[in-house]
Amino acid sequence: MNVFKHFKTITKHKILVMKGCFKLGLIKQGLLHDLSKYGLTEFRVGAKYYKGYMSPNNAERMDKGYSSAWLHHKGRNKHHLEYWIDYGVSDDKRAGNMVGMKMPIKYVVEMYVDRISASKNYLKDKYTDKSPLDYYERGKSHYLIHEDTASLLEYMLFMNYKKGEDYTFKYIKQNILKGKIKYEKKTLDELKSKL
């Protein structure tokens, strides 16, 4: 059991996300981000499977075939795309299938900050502005995520890679969170091509 090391890792991550959210004016989200990781259900698993270079949830998954901590976590934290998976509605061509629902913008932005912070936390001095985009790209083929949500997240991650974190944070605060851009795949694809 690596209680102290796990506590240090999740706290460092939480502080990174909190600072990012505060920069963007998402004060409540910054304060509440990942609090479930400190509860017994998630913390016990995190301390047991702590590695320091990867998520303990992945280590638990490799050991058991599933992650009880992740199943608990994703159902309580709205910045995870998995929180927004539901059945398609009857007037949708995806009716009856499990699909990703369109996420509110503030949670997509928190997901962006979360991915940057997690990449910094695990990669340490190997982190670059491209790291969060690379992480997303490696897993996106199996995500159940609404196309508009995916486009917005990819747009922010791509901008982070091309223009840097400071520029991207400023752009998010002045444009995305103020609703100055359309949160739709076609619009975001056009904007991405201009970066």
Sorted by where each begins, the domain ranges of the chain are 1-76, 101-195
pLDDT for residue 21 is more than 80 = yes
* pLDDT of 47: 97
Task: Say if pTM beats, i.e. exceeds, 0.85.
Answer: yes
Cα–Cα–Cα angle for 109, 135, 46, rounded to 5 degrees: 85
Condensed to tens digits (0 to 9), the pLDDT of residues 165-184 reads 999 999 999 999 999 988 88
pLDDT for residue 150 is more than 80 = yes
Q: Enter the tokens of residue 118.
A: 């997690």
Highest mean pLDDT among 85-99, 150-164, 180-194: 150-164
Non-local (6+) Cβ contacts of 126 within 8 A are: none
* pLDDT of 194: 83
* pLDDT of 68: 97
Condensed to tens digits (0 to 9), the pLDDT of residues 64-101 reads 999 999 999 999 999 999 999 998 876 666 667 889 99
pLDDT for residue 133 is more than 70 = yes
Q: Strand 85-87 and strand 98-100: pairing?
A: antiparallel
* pLDDT of 93: 66
Condensed to tens digits (0 to 9), the pLDDT of residues 34-58 reads 999 999 999 999 999 999 888 899 9
pLDDT for residue 1 is more than 90 = no
Say how far apart CA 50 and CA 60 lie, in whole Å: 9
Say how far apart CA 118 and CA 16 lie, in whole Å: 9
pLDDT for residue 103 is more than 80 = yes
* pLDDT of 185: 85
